[in-house]
Amino acid sequence: EWELLHSKEDSLGFTQVQFSQTYDELEVWPSSVTVQINPQGHAHVVTAAYAPTPKNLETKPSLLATSAYRVAVEHLQSEGLPFSDSAHLESQQLLVYAPLSSNPHLAYSVSLHEGSGVDWQVMVDAHSGEILTSINQVCTAAAQGSGADVSGQTVPIELWFEDNQYSLLNTTKSMHDEQRSDPPGFQTTVGGILIYEAGNVSPQENPDNFNPGLVSSVSPDSGFPADAVSASINLAKVYDYYEARHQRTSIDGQGGNIIGITNVPINNAYWQNDVITFGNLDTWTHALDFAGHEMTHGVIEKTAGLIYQNQPGALNEAIADIFGESVEAFENNGVPDWKLGTLLNSPLRDMRNPGSLEIGQGRPYPSRMSDFIPPNDPFLDNLQGRDNGGVHLNSSIINHAFYQLAEGLPESVGLPAAEQIFYRAVTTKLQKQSQFLDCRIACIQSAEELFGVGSTEARQTAEAFNTVEIFDQTLPTEPTRPY
């Protein structure tokens, strides 16, 4: 039932062999398994989140694919989302939909987007036409010259000069492939950091006029918008962090382009379709931790692929926060402030003391599992899209565990060791629908591989998760399959 996806050797000599589950030649989504092979060639660890073999499941659809598309669009329209009758169909796949919490269904996975910032995956039952779930997949932040950043400071910037134009394109990183690259276009550049400008046009409200252009000037020392300058500087710093700390070349680990779009009239930053978009209603481009946060969403997508819903989505957000804060500390002589969005009008999350910030209506961010906000909690009705089941809210529990491991415990291991443990967990062990308990197990196993079984790092990793009440005997918060 398993189909090989890829096999990759890591820096410790272990090989991660990842498989996706199939049934009757259909993908069983979102099931996956990773077998870790040790340097001696033996199976060492298996990490998995998968479904039992479906029973008596009819795999010939009763519903036409065109009908599934129509059902998906009408569902999104009924939810008040900006989808027209000609919504762009990104992909459509017949598969077995088998989340951990319900029986399997034959389903069409319909991926739709309506411009930048609107990207939905809708599961439509291929027999009944019922909407099984819908997930917003947008994770919600050569030549040299100079320009003023958002703070007003003049800083050096890397540019590309061609046809009497200086473009905000950085080709100085080791990922740049001079032999295959033909800048400045993003489709012909290989291994560059490119900054585009949206002209204060919203992709949601005005998709027909959303056409960002590469930021350029006739002078190397003027004509570059401040938010574009800050975005270029900060995305380069995030690249430097991942390369120096984790030997990762770019978001995909293979030197792929890093693309930022600035000057969009929203109060947010987000990752979607290999692009980082920065809103202009706050200083998003100036917040280095959020540049790191959004790029980390991309790293997660290329590795664990954590689905953006419920506990896997909260893990996705937490890991993005963790490495956003790690990037900021890397640029600040290793000293973190433990707050996400320090340079925004007000910080969004506090990893040291999550409960010091309120979600709203007097409710603080949770610090431990006894504060966990379940997906059916009525409080989520106050949030747009019910926060996809609390992905931003419950992320603070995992964030706080990371803080405890790095600094909060009496015998904490320090930030560099904590980063290595969590990075190894997300890139070699976590799966699409991993739960908080899986994160505990993955981090302890990663600590043992990095520092040894019984090491201080492994013991303190377990203790960090204990402090947030994610224990070995903890059961998943969401219900298990009924058979």
Handedness of CA 424, 425, 429, 432 (dihedral sign): negative
Say whether 114 sits in a helix, a strand or coil.
coil
Element (H, E) at 15: strand 15-23
Plot region of 41 (φ>0 → left; ψ -120 to 50 → alpha; else → beta) = left
Distance CA 472, CA 228 (A): 46
Residues 6+ apart with CB under 8 A from 156: 144, 145, 146
Residue 55, token pair as written in the block? 């029973």
> Which amino acids are annotated catalytic?
294, 392
Distance CA 270, CA 277 (A): 5
> Strand 193-197 relative to strand 213-214: parallel, antiparallel, unpaired?
antiparallel
CA distances from 200 to 186, 228, 348, 402 (A): 21, 13, 24, 37
Least Cα distance to 417 among 408, 426, 406, 428 occurs for 406
DSSP class of residue 404? I
Handedness of CA 364, 368, 374, 375 (dihedral sign): positive
Residue 379, token pair as written in the block? 């409080």
Amino acid letter for position 383: L
Residue 162 and residue 218 in contact, taking contact as beta carbons nearer than 8 Å: no
Q: Find the largest Cα–Cα distance for the chain.
A: 68
Handedness of CA 242, 243, 246, 248 (dihedral sign): positive
